[in-house]
Amino acid sequence: MTAGSAGRRGGVHGARVLAAACIAALLSACSAPTLVDRGSYLADTGHPARGADSRVRFLVLHYTESDDQRARFVLTHDEVSAHYLVPSHPSYRDGKPVVLQLVPESERAWHAGVSDWQGTTELNAASIGIEIVNAGPLDAPANRTWQAYPPDQVEAVVKLAQDIVARYRIPPTRVVAHSDIAPQRKIDPGPAFPWQALARAGVGAWPDDATVAARLAGRAPGDPAEVRGLQLKLARYGYDVATDGVLDARTRRVFAAFQMHFRPADYSGNPDAQTDAIAQALLDKYFPDAGVPITAPAAAAGHGTTP
């Protein structure tokens, strides 16, 4: 054997040994546990359980009732927070709106407060909160107008919300207003918020017009509705409302919150036929087994008790 042939054989052998070592290392890496050094101990994260899910089950939308600068300060320095803040006019990078993330989604933000929706209370622990820069009401309650949401801001809210509901598989009836989950003390994001536009983009619930018309069942939209029947419908949909048939201040606030969301042209809190038909249409669409029948126009004796 010549020196040259011996060298070539040695080179081939060395290459084979190196290749075998690389393969062994790869196999070892694939089978070895993933160890995370946490200072005083190591955590083996190589055995993920199948029996787990996300803490996030709801998406709650708010307005800031302030300008951009004030909103950023309050949400980062005060004892209130949200996962995201959408500016009044978001900047754009590469054609995409920029939103501010203030709290990691894995952590609880302090945005919902005392709240209740579909039997879940204290929604901070189970939701993502989006604050939207908006002044809210612009004048006195007796003649109230509301600040509009600019198209570029709505676009940013839609894109952000679409991503969140897709990743966490949040159903339409769990995309809610702060006023839905806390109707006794909150009115945001107010009647100017474009809920129907969000629903058309796949975010949140909205009734079908044809079903609403059918559920009116010959009634005029302004005809009175039976109080307890409407209470039962809204309770089934998710609101924290009494079902005693009494039209007191608390029930009116719940009715008004529902109307702000689904019939913003009139959020007086009066139990009318159109509100009743919208509620039933939502149950037909999202809770077809709810079992709450539509009610006939209420007689004067059964209309409930005003405060």
Domains of the chain: 58-200 (3.40.80.10), 209-302 (1.10.101.10)
Percent of the chain with pLDDT over 70: 83
Reported as type and span, the H/E element at residue 73 is: helix 68-77
- Is the Cα torsion angle 286, 287, 293, 299 positive or negative in sign? negative
Instruction: For strands 92-93 and 96-97, give the pairing.
Output: antiparallel
- Is the Cα torsion angle 53, 59, 64, 70 positive or negative in sign? positive
SS3 at position 137: strand
Going from the C-alpha of 76 to that of each of 56, 70, 79, 86, 99, the distances in angstroms are 22, 10, 8, 14, 15
Contacts (Cβ under 8 Å, ≥6 apart) of 254: 183, 231, 234, 239, 240, 241
SS3 at position 92: strand
SS3 at position 146: strand
Return the closest-CA partner of residue 186 out of 127, 121, 115, 131.
115
In this structure, the number of other CB atoms found within 10 A of the CB of residue 188 comes to 21
Q: Is the pLDDT of residue 42 over 90?
A: no
- What size, in residues, is the chain? 307
Reported as type and span, the H/E element at residue 177 is: strand 175-177
- Give the residue-averaged pLDDT of 233-237: 98
pLDDT tens, position by position, 99-147: 999 999 999 999 999 999 999 999 999 999 999 999 999 987 777 899 9
CA dist., res. 188 & res. 180, Å (int): 9
Reported as type and span, the H/E element at residue 278 is: helix 273-286
Structure tokens at 27: 């196999």
Q: Residue 165: its pLDDT value, please?
A: 98
Percent of the chain with pLDDT over 90: 74
List, by residue number, the catalytic residues: 131
pLDDT tens, position by position, 136-181: 999 877 778 999 999 999 999 999 999 999 999 999 999 999 999 9
Q: Residue 133: its pLDDT value, please?
A: 99
pLDDT tens, position by position, 261-283: 999 999 999 999 999 999 999 99
